[in-house]
Amino acid sequence: MNVQSKPSKFIKGATGDWEVVIGMEVHAQVSSKSKLFSGASTAFGGAPNSHVSLVDAAMPGMLPVINGECVNQAVRTGLGLNAQINLRSVFDRKNYFYPDLPQGYQISQYKQPVVGEGVVVVDLAEGEAVSIGIERLHLEQDAGKSVHDRHPQMSAVDLNRSGVALMEIVSKPDLRSSEEAKAFLAKLRSIMRYLGTCDGNMEEGSLRADVNVSVRKPGEPLGTRCEIKNVNSLRFIGQAIEHEARRQIEIIEDGGVIVQETRLFDPNKGETRSMRSKEEAHDYRYFPDPDLLPLELTAEAVAELKAKLPELPDEKKARFVRDFGLSSYDAGQLVAERETAEYFETVAKGRDAKLAANWVINELFGRLNKEGKAIASSPMSAGQLGGLIELISDKTISGKIAKDLFEILWTEGGDARALVESRGMAQVTDLGAIGAIVDDLIAQNPDKVAQAKANPKAMMWFVGQAMKSSGGKASPQAVNDLLKSKLGV
Amino acid sequence: MTELTSLTLAEARDRLRNKDITAVELASAHVDAVAKARALNAFVLETPEQALAMAKASDARIAKGEAGPLEGIPLAIKDLFATQGVRTTACSKILGDFVPAYESTVSSQLWRDGAVLLGKTNNDEFAMGSSNETSHFGAVQSPWRREGSNTPLVPGGSSGGSAAAVAAQLCLGATATDTGGSIRQPAAFTGTVGIKPTYGRCSRWGIVAFASSLDQAGPITKTVRDAAIMLRSMAGPDAKDTTCADLPVPDYEASVGKSVKGLRIGIPKEYRLDGMPSEIEKMWTQGCEWLKAAGAELVDVSLPHTKYALPAYYIVAPAEASSNLARYDGVRYGLRVPGRDITDMYEKTRAEGFGAEVRRRVMIGTYVLSAGYYDAYYLRAQKVRTLIKRDFEQCFAAGVHAMLTPATPSASFGVGEKGGSDPVEMYLNDVFTVTVNMAGLPGIAVPAGTDAQGLPLGLQLIGRPFDEETLFALGSAIEREAGHFVARPWW
């Protein structure tokens, strides 16, 4: 894919503009009940070494058996990334010694991954969209965890994660800013959560990324890259890229050269530091795992998985724009999370969709954010919010009262229409009742009447007062019309 | 009681069924024989109490009419097979006193069918060797000696303990494994029968891995019929080993003694080596004549890539071994030699835990998989392997049912006699057997005669994939003419 340079993304250096080129390797834990090659549970948070089979502990004579569900999850993900599914792929051994790697090798896919090239469309804040190429997706085993704080001299090893299935998704070097990199990862996360193939939980380590960063003068060939390992939040990815790009620009502008190396991001200092150089890189001695036959898929099985894919964010967004008349930006916000989109659709069903979108995006999102809640734990159901939307649409309540009603529904719960009735919150459109209020105001405030007649804008004082006297229930439109005729303005 | 130990497996089975003898009598006789034969060093662990307890249970099942196909048959298990609650070391120091919490699929099928465990037999460390001299527990001595000589001889390897135990009548059969000849070569050296079935016929689950794409379990027994009986229990599909074939197991015993009339037997010209002892040549010719007399048709065939098999094998097998043996790192089980840091601990543990031959192969394997060498060695060896396989396929496609070759290029040799200064001297032992592993085919070694010094010599029959039945038919035809070979006890 030939990505166009975007001057707006350039970084200013002492010698002029620099373009940052980013590629990512995303490690996503496959959502599955059991591990990639053993029947042990993948549940998070078990007591150390409580989810370990004989295979995971690499006991002598143990053999891996591929978990078909993990393969299906990888294929689903590949389909969600609009990628080539390879009907024949091969598991290799990546050999290295580490205490939390019991076999002494990781089973991974090296030369023949299960998923080949694909493309992901990433929406950016300015309403701009970029297509990011996917190089490949392959399946591999996770390692265990070394624990260093249990004993002064010894380390402990927890093998619960050992053998859990990971998908490594490799992008092409198509990203041009930290914003794009963050948006790309967020989009991958969104797609996988829609598919149910990865829970995307970055705190628990279900999703993490290695980021390859290089810089160049616009139009020049690619520079030497550095790989930043295991960055585990969107914010840190942004920081790591910003810092790394600046670091590389400074070195080059000072007459130095970039050394290809692996670097670590230190979230406390907000900077990257060297981990190992290219020369120190492991020789992993990859070779096909003789314990496993090549993974063969049939075109029919892939087609069946494809037919059963859920609607993905891009399709859903297009449908929201098309069917509900939402702006692309609003639709994008609503589809980012599958749960949000489902919530919105329930609210919007048979109601004013644009109004529903406004309330979900402004009021609901605002309140959830403020309280740090996810949509799944929203105290207000989609049905409740839908009831509120209906009351606005049929002019039973005004926008102002609706906000009060929202507050009540959020804190106390209940049914929107029943609350409006029991608490007398309905909008007063009865001209008789409003007329009495207006007549009263005119009689008692001759000076304001004079002002209003001289300057119609001063009529707003009467509108305000009338609304106040009605406890906000008077229809602002009815008040307006009545005042105009009574004052003759 | 010596009479009981001289029975074949089939004879003992029939006598047990007829209640002429009891499983406990049979087990006791073998337990005693094992205890008296410690000079052979065939067993690295004896399990007499377990043997008698299992025999007692067998007698109870026989009494109830619930006897399995191997009910009450005392067997020895190569120390490469994990045996639940019974120390399993692959005869390596690095496994220390490792006691598995699991039973290998193959051995569990033997117990399912009623067999009795006598103990664990010696083998070359991690099955790497052709003389059983690399074992951490020391060399096994063959029950055979040259006429008029007391020179200790090797039983072959790596399943030397299993072969010696069967040849010395310490058990009625033994499990073995074969990666490059480790069943057939020791069988040939000890006058016993050994079959390496087709790759994928027996599950590898629970067998300490040497080279995963070549390793295959099989039995060593006194007769062809016994091998057929034992293999039927050992073989079969296993969901825990995805390289294990999902094919039903035939009644192999039914093939024993079956007519070989009309079978086309290929005689590969490439197995006629320069400098091969005339006795081997003679035995091969004799074997051809026997089969011809039995009605088989002999055809000259060519397997042109044979000469590359041994070098390619010594790339592929060490490559896989270097990776398979990475798990012995001192972290979770077995030997741990403390070090300054984790790397130091790894290095000290593996330097002390592995013997010289294992270290050599781990280093060869690491080298051939290294960046910059992979294409020249490993990839090339795999291509050679494909060509070797194709050689066989073309012969079989032309109507050949099986091939006849010598099993080994020589008879047994003295302990300490070979490979001391040049490991290749030892590797050459497998020159006739490795091709079969490289092609994944079944091969059986059947005793066919003796050399001038009275040592047994064996012939090898190579079959089509999953056609062990033809090998049993042909093997029994040779056995019928050649007779049986029993070592004279010196121990």
Q: Cα separations (Å) of A74 from A68, A83, A133, A166?
A: 10, 11, 17, 9
Strands B216-221 vs A271-277: parallel, antiparallel or unpaired: unpaired
CB contact under 8 A, A65 and B239: yes
Q: How confident is the model at residue A3 (pLDDT cuts 50, 70, 90)?
A: low
Asked if B203 is an active-site residue, the reply is no
Of B158, B159, B410, B412, which one is the catalytic site residue? Answer: B158
Half-sphere exposure of A111 (CA within 13 A, CB side): 8
What's residue B1's pLDDT?
42
Which residue does chain B place closest to A97, by CA atoms?
Answer: B326
3-state helix, strand and coil shares in percent for chain B, rounded to the nearest 5: 40, 15, 45
Helix (H, G, I), strand (E, B) or coil at B39: helix
What's residue A444's pLDDT?
86
Helix (H, G, I), strand (E, B) or coil at B85: coil
Q: How confident is the model at residue A1 (pLDDT cuts 50, 70, 90)?
A: very low
**Mean pLDDT of all residues in A437-450:** 84
Q: Using an 8 Å CB-CB cutoff, list chain B residues near A58.
A: 327, 332
CB contact under 8 A, B242 and A285: no
Helix (H, G, I), strand (E, B) or coil at B397: helix
Q: Which residue do the tokens 């007062």 mark?
A: A465
Element (H, E) at B457: strand B456-463
For chain A, give the number of residues.
489
**Mean pLDDT of all residues in A26-45:** 94
Long-range CB pairs of B448-451 (<8 Å, 24+ gap) are B448/B283, B448/B286, B448/B287, B448/B478, B448/B482, B449/B279, B449/B282, B449/B283, B449/B286, B449/B482, B450/B411, B450/B485, B451/B277, B451/B279, B451/B411
Over chain A, what is the mean pLDDT?
92
H helix runs in B325-461, sequence order: 342-353, 356-368, 380-397, 423-427, 434-439
Alpha carbons A257 and A243: distance in angstroms, whole number: 17
Asked if B84 reaches chain A (Cβ–Cβ under 8 Å), the answer is no
pTM listed for this prediction? 0.91
What's residue A4's pLDDT?
67
| pLDDT exceeds 70 at position A234 | yes
What's residue B184's pLDDT?
98
Asked if B158 is an active-site residue, the reply is yes
ipTM of the complex: 0.96
- Contacts of residue B452, defined as CB under 8 A and 6 or more positions apart, other chains included, come to B279
Chain A interface test: which of B97, B323, B325, B382 (most A C-beta within 10 Å) = B323
Task: Report the share of chain A in percent with pLDDT over 70.
Answer: 98
**Mean pLDDT of all residues in A189-202:** 96
Number of folded domains that form chain B: 1
- Lowest-pLDDT range of A141-150, A463-472, B143-152: A463-472
pLDDT tens, per residue, chain B with 491 residues: 448 999 999 999 999 999 999 999 999 999 999 999 999 999 999 999 999 999 999 999 999 999 999 999 999 999 999 999 999 999 999 999 999 999 999 999 999 999 999 999 999 999 999 999 999 999 999 999 999 999 999 999 999 999 999 999 999 999 999 999 999 999 999 999 999 999 999 999 999 999 999 999 999 999 999 999 999 999 999 999 999 999 999 999 999 999 999 999 999 999 998 888 999 999 999 999 999 999 999 999 999 999 999 999 999 999 999 999 999 999 999 999 999 999 999 999 999 999 999 999 999 999 999 999 999 999 999 999 999 999 999 999 999 999 999 999 999 999 999 988 888 889 998 999 999 999 999 999 999 999 999 999 999 999 999 999 999 999 999 999 999 999 999 99
Query: How far B242 CA sits from the closest chain A CA (Å)?
Result: 6
Burial B380-403 (b: 16+ CB within 10 A, else e): bbbebbebbbebbeebbeeebbbb
CB A359 within 8 Å of CB A326: no
Of B78, B196, B222, B418, which one is the catalytic site residue? Answer: B78
Chain-centroid distance of CA B113 in Å reads: 21
Chain B interface test: which of A63, A94, A108 (most B C-beta within 10 Å) = A63
| pLDDT exceeds 70 at position A238 | yes
- Lowest-pLDDT range of A75-89, A474-488, B284-298: A474-488
Does residue A419 or residue A485 have the better pLDDT? A419
CB A80 within 8 Å of CB A192: yes
The domain of B280 spans 1-491
Half-sphere exposure of B375 (CA within 13 A, CB side): 2
Does residue A14 or residue A60 have the better pLDDT? A60
Query: How far B466 CA sits from the closest chain A CA (Å)?
Result: 18
| pLDDT exceeds 70 at position A2 | no
Q: What separation, in Å, do the N-terminal and C-terminal C-alpha atoms of chain B show?
A: 17
Nearest CA among B479, B462, B463 for reference residue B271: B462
For chain B, give the number of residues.
491
Which residue does chain A place closest to B379, by CA atoms?
Answer: A287
| pLDDT exceeds 80 at position A478 | no
Chain-centroid distance of CA B480 in Å reads: 22
**Mean pLDDT of all residues in A479-488:** 80
> Residue B4, class by beta-carbon neighbours within 10 Å (0-12 exposed, 13-18 middle, 19+ buried)?
buried
**How many contacts does A have with B, using Cβ atoms within 8 A?**
99
Q: Report helix angle B9-17 to B23-36, nearest 10.
A: 150
- Contacts of residue A113, defined as CB under 8 A and 6 or more positions apart, other chains included, come to A86, A89, A136, A137, A138, A139
Nearest CA among B381, B354, B453, B357 for reference residue B411: B453
Burial A162-176 (b: 16+ CB within 10 A, else e): bbbbbbbbbbbbbbb
Query: How far A36 CA sits from the closest chain B CA (Å)?
Result: 14
**Mean pLDDT of all residues in A306-333:** 94
Asked if B213 is an active-site residue, the reply is no
For residue A157, give the nearest of B101, B331, B333 by CB distance: B331
The domain that holds B160 is classified in CATH as: 3.90.1300.10
Chain A interface test: which of B77, B120, B329, B375 (most A C-beta within 10 Å) = B329
CB B379 within 8 Å of CB A286: no
What's residue A477's pLDDT?
74
Residue type, B390: R
Give one DSSP letter per residue of B343-364, joined into a string. HHHHHHHHHHHS-HHHHHHHHH
Q: Using an 8 Å CB-CB cutoff, list chain B residues near A102.
A: 327, 331-332
For residue A287, give the nearest of B329, B343, B378 by CB distance: B378
What's residue B444's pLDDT?
98
Task: Domains for chain A: give ranges and CATH numbers.
Answer: 17-305 (no CATH), 311-422 (no CATH), 431-487 (1.10.10)
Query: How far B309 CA sits from the closest chain A CA (Å)?
Result: 19
